[in-house]
Amino acid sequence: MLTSYLVSNAIVLPLSGWFSSIFGRKRFFSVCVGLFTVSSLLCGLAPNLGWLVFFRVLQGAGGGSMQPLSQAILIESFPKSKRGMAMAIYAMGVVVAPIIGPTVGGWITDNYTWRWIFLINVPIGILAILLASAVVEDPPYLHRRKLRQLRIDYVGLSLLCIGLGALQIMLDKGQREDWFSSNFIIVLLVVTVASLLVLVIWEWWQHDPVLELHLLKDRNFAGATATMFLLGFVLYGSLVLLPLLLQTLLGYTAELSGMVLSPGGIVTLITLPLVGRLLARFEARWLIVIGVFITAYSLLMMSRFNLEVDFWTSVWTRMVQGVGLAFLFVPVNNMAFYFVPREKTNYASGLINLARNIGGSCGIAFAATVLSRWSQAHQNYMVCNLSPLNPQFQTATQAATNMLVQQGQAPSVAQNQAQQLIYSNMVRQATMMSFNDVFFLMAATFLILIPVLLVMKKAPPHREGDMPAAH
């Protein structure tokens, strides 16, 4: 069910600029919100799993374009001198969702029914449509094209749908299917590479493409897109790993795990306005560098966790990561759109959001795969020491046996249980080491951004008095 949503969401995301040029940004945004609202209602009323999956596809199609469109509207509604603060406030809204979403969703499911998770979107969607109708306006330079005058790029559209669909399914199912030992995954890989490679070549020479790849010739936009990909890779990967570690190895409940994560989101929420103000005074590149180092440092802290890590250490590490993320989201977007022509904002927003989403899917797939494979590798190495000839193993087994005998177990039963207890502890240690390895790899991966930032063009901060962007 989640895969169906992600596939349709990924396909529609980069098409937001193209659809906006056909229907107009305001109209298309309202249609997307309307489709998301109606499909949420249908998901809540779905009679069986088959219909629920179908309605989730529609929901993903409606939700895919809302974020790049809202971002494009925001960028053009403020002059560059105020854009940083505007994007910071926008990001605050984005950050609130992962803070309250899991908690509210769990409460609704426990006290009512899963259907209300979808139905709660309906009144919010209706309100969003009314506000969009009253507030949002198309900029004067965005002339809507008539369908009969438009040469639809059917080839590019087909290649995009096939390539991104196959990629998302491959990333979602890869670890479960044991990656390239599965013919299904190999076929998906071939389809993905072939479709996206031909798509790039085809779109580059089209006069009316569905994807405006020429935007990547601007090294600031290309660098910001790569940065957003890695940001999604590290952020989504670590957000999946941390609660998994807390719940599987440390015995935290889902609620307690959420209490570890939530303060990090609150810290990001508080720090974002500060970053917005700093953008008006300092070059965005240096703020990104600060964010990279802080986020990498938080991941290195996570790579030093052990099975005795306490609650407040986990909370503090997540809070440090929250500060780093605040220094990344807004400055990266500011760098991305600094030299992008206003009429190309829709296309640029779709591309950079697509990069973040694909990065997130790759990060989750990478984390799950490395965690599973390296945990097994650590076990294979450590199990060599679980030998009756090893004095340390003999001592540990005897101590555990004596403890169980004192608790009332028969000596023969106690010895078997002692060995099982030691083996179970070894598995936990191996898994913990694998978590440490993944966090360390993500920290090292994130530092790759530093040379990328150094080749980007300088984007000086704008002061008050700059000409405002057209509405």
* Structure confidence by residue, pLDDT tens digits, 334-356: 777 777 777 777 778 878 888 88
Residue 396's pLDDT is: 67
Cα 93 to chain center, whole Å?
16
- pLDDT of 3 higher than 60: no
Residue 439's pLDDT is: 92
Residue 97's pLDDT is: 67
Find the mean pLDDT for residues 160-168: 83
Residue 398's pLDDT is: 67
Find the mean pLDDT for residues 90-119: 71
Neighbours of 424 (CB within 10 A): 10
Higher pLDDT, 275 or 280: 275
Find the mean pLDDT for residues 460-467: 51
* Structure confidence by residue, pLDDT tens digits, 17-31: 777 777 777 888 888
* Structure confidence by residue, pLDDT tens digits, 198-213: 988 888 887 777 777 8
Amino acid at 301: M
For the chain, the three-class secondary structure string (H helix, E strand, C coil) is CHHHHHHHHHHHHHHHHHHHHHHCHHHHHHHHHHHHHHHHHHHHHCCCHHHHHHHHHHHHHHHHCHHHHHHHHHHHHCCHHHHHHHHHHHHHHHHHHHHHHHHHHHHHHHHCCCHHHHHCHHHHHHHHHHHHHHHCCCCCCCCCCCHHHCCCCHHHHHHHHHHHHHHHHHHHHCCCCCHHHCHHHHHHHHHHHHHHHHHHHHHHCCCCCCCCHHHHHCHHHHHHHHHHHHHHHHHHHHHHHHHHHHHHCCCCCHHHHHHHHHHHHHHHHHHHHHHHHHHCCCCHHHHHHHHHHHHHHHHHHHCCCCCCCCHHHHHHHHHHHHHHHHHHHHHHHHHHHCCCCHHHHHHHHHHHHHHHHHHHHHHHHHHHHHHHHHHHHHHHHHHHHCCCCCHHHHHHHHHHHHHHHHCCCCHHHHHHHHHHHHHHHHHHHHHHHHHHHHHHHHHHHHCCHHHHHHCCCCCCCCCCCCCCCCC
Higher pLDDT, 384 or 380: 380
Residue 64's pLDDT is: 75
Residue 301 binned pLDDT confidence (cut-offs 50, 70, 90): very high
- pLDDT of 240 higher than 50: yes
Find the mean pLDDT for residues 250-255: 78
Select, from the ranges 97-111, 131-145, 218-232, the one with the highest average predicted confidence (pLDDT).
218-232
Closest to 119 in 3D by CA, of 188, 198, 38: 38
Higher pLDDT, 21 or 168: 168
